[in-house]
């Protein structure tokens, strides 16, 4: 019985064709999957040639930078350069890429609208079969929101939630620095310790909401009574402090105290209620009354209680108590 050569050929060739088709289908599936990952990734992904010219960029990268893909045609990644880093920074980056094939770190870049933003950047070299670099891929994560959250947390840790003023912790830190500066420049420094007169009664009769609004209004008047270089802080309750720096004469503290008494003494209108409140102020001076934070704060506090006990709505220097 004769054998059919064509039949034998088909019987042998068919499995190879099936295998080839299966392999091609698997490759196409992988390519489609890679494309979906590239397109849907939350992080920005950009591919450049060996000269840094942008070849591909995913939607997340375009959204972060503000560019359209066609606008990046022919441009290198230098289009994002923010000017926040010196030449040495980029030299060290590329030295690491050449030596290890990758670099990862935090960098400041610039969006199309000119906004400078921080991002976590990871650059990797892509090699051909002979080990030659043919492309670079970069994965970019915008850190703007994270830094905003961190800044918010830091602000909350060092500022009063109601008034936005520095709290006791930040006030003491600033006072330490102001004292060091005053010593170095041989200048005077004053601490004003304020306590509102009759605030508890207002809080009890009109309610805490009105009391809070009053404290916010007092804050604005205090800020308008001092220079931008001075610090106003809320120590808690109805107690405030002011640090006056770069003073030439002790009398300057008295001038500011008078401005504060006048500002606070003017009638407030809170939620339709006319409210009158005054304040008592104690003043301590560096270097006459002390050279450290604790001593000067304690003396300003003592002077404030003397002012309150002397009829309120007045100020006293600690030196007047000697």
Q: Which residues are part of the catalytic machinery?
A: 238
Tokens of 119: 């991002």
Can you give the three-state secondary structure of 223-284, one letter per residue?
A: HHCCCCCCEEEEEECCEEEEEEEEECCCHHHHHHHHHHHHHHHCCEEECCEEECCEEEEEEE
CA distance 16 to 11: 10
Q: Which of 171, 141, 169 is nearest to 233 (CA)?
A: 171
CB distance 278 to 265 below 8 Å: yes
Cβ contacts of 195 within 8 Å, gap of 6 or more: 238, 239, 240, 279, 280, 304, 308
Distance CA 184, CA 135 (A): 56
Q: Where are the alpha helices (DSSP H) in the chain?
A: 5-40, 59-65, 87-100, 144-158, 168-185, 199-206, 208-224, 251-265, 293-309
Q: Name every residue whose Cβ is closer than 8 Å to that of residue 105 and which is 6 or more positions away in sequence.
A: 93, 120, 121
Burial (Cβ within 10 Å: 0-12, 13-18, ≥19) of residue 278: middle
| Cα–Cα distance for residue pair 305/293, rounded to 1 Å | 19
As a whole number of angstroms, the longest Cα–Cα distance in the chain is 133
- What residues pair up with 279 in beta bridges, in sequence order? 196
* Residues linked to residue 242 through DSSP beta bridges, in sequence order: 192, 232
């Amino acid at each position: 019985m004769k054998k059919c050569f064509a039949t034998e050929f088909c019987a042998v060739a068919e499995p190879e064709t099936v295998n080839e088709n299966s392999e091609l289908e698997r490759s196409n599936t992988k390519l489609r999957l890679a494309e979906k990952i590239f397109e849907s990734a939350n992080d920005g992904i950009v591919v450049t040639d060996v000269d840094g010219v942008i070849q591909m960029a995913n939607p997340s990268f375009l959204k972060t930078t503000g560019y359209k893909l066609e606008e990046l045609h022919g441009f290198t990644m230098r289009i994002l350069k923010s000017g926040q880093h010196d030449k040495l920074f980029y030299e060290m980056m590329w030295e690491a890429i050449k030596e290890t094939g990758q670099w990862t770190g935090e960098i400041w870049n610039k969006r199309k609208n000119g906004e400078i933003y921080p991002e976590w950047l990871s650059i990797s070299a892509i090699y051909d079969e002979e080990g030659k670099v043919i492309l670079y891929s970069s994965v970019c994560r915008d850190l703007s929101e994270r830094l905003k959250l961190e800044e918010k947390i830091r602000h909350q840790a060092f500022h009063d939630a109601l008034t936005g003023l520095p709290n006791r912790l930040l006030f003491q830190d600033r006072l330490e620095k102001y004292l060091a500066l005053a010593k170095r420049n041989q200048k005077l420094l004053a601490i004003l310790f304020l306590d509102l007169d009759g605030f508890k009664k207002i809080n009890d009769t009109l309610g805490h909401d009105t009391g809070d609004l009053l404290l916010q209004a007092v804050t604005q008047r205090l800020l308008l009574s001092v220079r931008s270089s001075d610090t106003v802080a809320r120590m808690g309750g109805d107690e405030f402090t002011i640090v006056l720096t770069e003073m030439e004469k002790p009398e300057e503290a008295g001038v500011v105290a008078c401005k504060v008494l006048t500002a606070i003494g003017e009638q407030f209108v809170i939620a339709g209620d006319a409210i009158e409140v005054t304040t008592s102020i104690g003043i301590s001076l560096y270097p006459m009354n002390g050279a450290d934070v604790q001593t000067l704060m304690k003396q300003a506090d003592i002077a404030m209680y003397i002012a309150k006990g002397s009829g309120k709505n007045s100020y006293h220097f600690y030196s007047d108590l000697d």
